Each structure stands twice: as C-alpha cells, then as structure tokens.
A = this chain, B = another copy of it.
Amino acid sequence: MASRKASTQDDLRRHNRARLLRRLHESGAATRSELVAFTGLNRSTVGVLVSELAETGLVSEVPGSAGQVGRPSLVVQPTPQSAVVIAFDVRVDRTVVALVGIGGEELWRREQEHDRATFTPQWAVHDMIGLMREALSHAPSHAAWVGVGVAVPGIVEHVDSVVRLAPNLGWRDVPLGQLVRDAILDEFGFCPPGHIGNDADLGALSEHVRGVGTHHRNLVFLSGEVGIGGGVIIDGRALLGAGGYGGEVGHMVVNPAGKLCRCGAHGCWETEIGRDAIVVAAGLSPEDHDVSDVVNAAAHGDVTAAEAIHQAGEWLGIGIANLVNILNPEVIVLGGHLRLLLPMVGGTVHRRLEYAMTAPRDQVRVEVPALGGDSSLLGAAEAAFEGLLEDPITVLENSVHAAAS
C-alpha cells in the first residue's frame, strides 16, 4: 500500500501541475490568488507548483499592472519563447504553416501554394519537412520543440492517424501520421508528440479553446471548402465516435431530389452549399472562381450571384436546423467560405432555424470564427501542445531545442 499511496501522490502532483499549465496556456496570465481559486488547492501547494513550472522556463512571474494602491501583485504567465510547436493547415491549394509558442502566440507563419494535381502524400510530407526547417530557423534560441500538428481536409482515424479519405486531395488510406513521423526522425533525429486531425475537428477545438466557444461546452464548427466538413464538441470533448469520424456533416442528405454528389448519393449538404455548387449557381467557372467572387458579384448587383447566395442560405439554414435538433449546441461556427456568406444570408438562416425545435433553438447562436481563417491551423497547434499540457516535465525532458534541430 505504501508505494501505491506514493504513486497516487505523485500522480496528483503531476495532474495538478498539468492543470495549472493548461490554465495558463489557454486563458493567459493569472495571479497566484486566481490560480488558488481556479485549482481549489491551497496557496502553498500552488506556490510549489508555480515554482516547479517556472524552473522549467515554461512560465514566469512578472509584476502585473499596478491598478490598485500598493505594489502590483505578481502574475504568472506562459513564456512563448520557452516551448514551441509547428502547426500545419494542409489545404487543397496550399499549405499554411505556423510556429506557435506556449500560450498560443503565433511567432512566425508562411503559406506555400501547391498544385492539387501533383500533391501526393509524399509530396506533402516533403513540403512539410522543408517548411519545418524554415519554421525551426525562426524559433527563439532556447525554445524546446514540443509538438507537431497537422490539419487535413479529410477523415482521419483517430488512433492510427491514417487519413482514410481526403476526397479533394485524392488521398485514400494514407498513413500520414507514420509518414510524417518517419520523415521527421529521418531529418531531425528526433520527433516530438504529433497529431494529425480533420481540419473541421481542429477548427472546433481552437474555437472552443480560444475563439467564439470559449464559454460554451457544446459547439459545432463547419468548414466550407470544396466540401463541407464538420467538427463537434459535446460537453467540452470532441465528438469522435467509434473511429474518430464523427461530424462528417457534408454528406448529410438534405435534398434527395437534388444533385448527384461525388459520394454517389443525391442532395448531400455539400452539393448545395459546397464551394463549387455556389460558384456554378452564380454562373461562374469553379476552375477560376471561388465564393468570394460570387459575394463580390452579388455586392455589385449581379442578380444570378445574389440568387445563388440566397439559395445557399436556404440550404445552410435547413442543415443547421438539423444539427441544432440532433446536437443541441450553444454555438455553430461557420468557417471557410460559409464565413463570407453569413453576413448576406443571416436572415435566411435564422428564418429556417425557426423550424428547429424551440427548446434547442433558443440556446444556439450562429457565429463566424473568432480566429478568422486560422481556426484549423490554430487547432492543429492546440492539438500539438496536448502532449506537453498532459505531462510538461516528461515532454520537456525528452524534447530538443528547436533552433538546434
């Protein structure tokens, strides 16, 4: 029993240290008193935990702003230069990469375009390694490299990190987690904890942690690209389902009399509100145009474009009402091109939403992402920090200096 108790004490200390770091990472600087209130631990225990974290360099104590009489109290804050992750948002036409410090500060970013036709998984991994080199060259000199996160526009098995299907990249059953890991080990001789995730799932994560869903436990993130992706947070946790494929709302059939979808069904949601559907309905070519062109045309009086947007708004509202009935979320976040549509179709969406059951309808807001077009990218960064946040000391001990990699 003695060793068992000791292990429980150790576990508890590790657990509390991790909770404290997560609080600082997700919600920013706090006084010791605030941390005492947040953790429910006593002041001396919080003091010990803060000191331990400060010793690692992950957090520091600095004088807060002197708003009140007397000396300003110290605040504990994360040190973005101490630990960094590299986050990728792999899109159909380009890859966005960011170097993000603990606390969520974006330290550096770049976008690199690619040709969808030749963008094989091997090519993607090759690109990522090059971008990682560049990112690491911009890392603060003593930063530990503690994670890699990758958002992909496809469905990803959540244990094996296999991309089961990324239709718009033409990928199927790609063991991307393994490919990225092997390539990093090859190149850097070390690989930090990594995460491969669906772009909408990661968009949901970042909007929940630092976006419009900060104060809510139930959120749906919709990513409007060529397809329509979805990420769902229920009671504060990602809705994964049996294999991590939950949230694939783009193939919810809303209009069986509608157009044939590439999945073989008729009238999937994405055949009505996906990028190509809107562009084509506006009389434009999907090769050369995207939804922003349709929005511009409508704003300049193009009636066909305006009608295309109105129609998309109707279908958007029908699908959102379905999700409100099924999931009872507090927030539905419209990412990707849906973000551009909302200002023009908000009325239509809310009119359709009237058909949802009253009780859940009264609880929901429809919002654009607080993180703009970066929700998936920053969600990949959040997922990349997960290893460190679960067990800061161990991950830090096993990490390497980013700049030295």
* Contact present for A157 and B359 (CB under 8 Å): yes
- Given A155-B357, A157-B359, A328:B234 Cβ within 8 A: no
List the B side residues contacting A250 at CB < 8 Å: 325
List the B side residues contacting A244 at CB < 8 Å: 328
A253: min CB distance to chain B, Å: 5
Looking at A95-103, A131-139, A257-265, A395-403, the stretch in contact with chain B turns out to be A257-265
A165 at the interface (CB under 8 A from B): yes
* Contact present for A241 and B164 (CB under 8 Å): no
* Contact present for B245 and A241 (CB under 8 Å): no
Cβ-defined partner of A234 (8 Å) among B239, B243, B256: B239
Contact with B along A354-384 (1 / 0, CB 8 A): 1111111001100000000000000000000
A 222-278 contacts with B by CB, 8 A:
230, 232, 234-235, 237, 239-257, 263-265
- Given A264-B354, A326-B326, A359:B252 Cβ within 8 A: no
Cβ-defined partner of A247 (8 Å) among B216, B237, B318, B326: B326
A364 closest partner in B (C-beta): B242
A128 at the interface (CB under 8 A from B): no
Q: Report the Cα distance A386→B246, complex, angstroms.
A: 28
- Classify chain A: how many residues form its interface, as a range: 35 or more
List the B side residues contacting A73 at CB < 8 Å: none
A255: min CB distance to chain B, Å: 6
* Contact present for B239 and A165 (CB under 8 Å): no
Besides A164-B358, A218-B241, A247-B326, 6 other CB < 8 A contacts? A155-B359, A157-B359, A242-B330, A245-B360, A248-B328, A323-B326
* Contact present for A253 and B326 (CB under 8 Å): no
* Contact present for A256 and B255 (CB under 8 Å): yes
Binding site for B on A (CB under 8 A): 1, 4, 42, 155, 157, 164-165, 216-218, 230, 232, 234-235, 237, 239-257, 263-265, 318, 321-323, 325-330, 354-360, 363-364
List the B side residues contacting A326 at CB < 8 Å: 230, 232, 246-249, 252, 323, 326-327
- Most B CB contacts (10 A, CB to CB) among A216, A230, A358, A364 go to A358
Cβ-defined partner of A165 (8 Å) among B218, B237, B359, B363: B359
A36: min CB distance to chain B, Å: 14
- Most B CB contacts (10 A, CB to CB) among A1, A241, A358 go to A241
List the B side residues contacting A232 at CB < 8 Å: 326
Give 8 A-B contacts (CB < 8 Å), ordered by A residue.
Answer: A235-B237, A239-B327, A242-B330, A243-B359, A248-B328, A248-B360, A253-B355, A255-B257
* Contact present for A242 and B155 (CB under 8 Å): no
- Given A252-B326, A254-B254, A357:B245 Cβ within 8 A: yes
* Contact present for A252 and B322 (CB under 8 Å): yes
Q: Report the Cα distance A323→B243, complex, angstroms.
A: 14
Q: Report the Cα distance A355→B248, complex, angstroms.
A: 13
List the B side residues contacting A230 at CB < 8 Å: 326
A237: min CB distance to chain B, Å: 7
* Contact present for B328 and A241 (CB under 8 Å): yes
A37: min CB distance to chain B, Å: 17
